[in-house]
Structure 1
């Protein structure tokens, strides 16, 4: 049977792992949103260039 200290330590480690995973998920979501924004910005730029040449 693990001691009280070991249980507390295991709980802290689990909380830290959950926090790390949540941060990783958040970064992935932000990166995807950024990529969508850059793609939309580039498409708008190309449309402006195309309209300017006509």
Structure 2
């Protein structure tokens, strides 16, 4: 083996490592985005469920029907 072959092998190994690291980062970023979207969807579902189960109240804490009577 001559020096040029050793250098070429090291350069190729570095290129492979860089590509693998980029692929890992891209996969993690995609997973992070999916997780964030899922968390936001769950939060919106929770908020919607709370709004449908809790009665609407006015500023003074009474319900609109209590206030009119």
Please tell me the TM-score bracket, short chain as reference: over 0.9
The higher relative CO (CA closer than 8 Å, separation ≥ 6) is in: 2
Structure 2, unmatched stretches of 5+, are 53-69
- Tell me how large the CA RMSD over aligned residues is: 1.0
TM-score (norm 1): 0.93
TM-score (norm 2): 0.73
Q: Which runs of 4+ in 1 moved over 6 A?
A: none
Higher helix share goes to which structure? 1
- How many residue pairs are counted as aligned between the two chains? 52
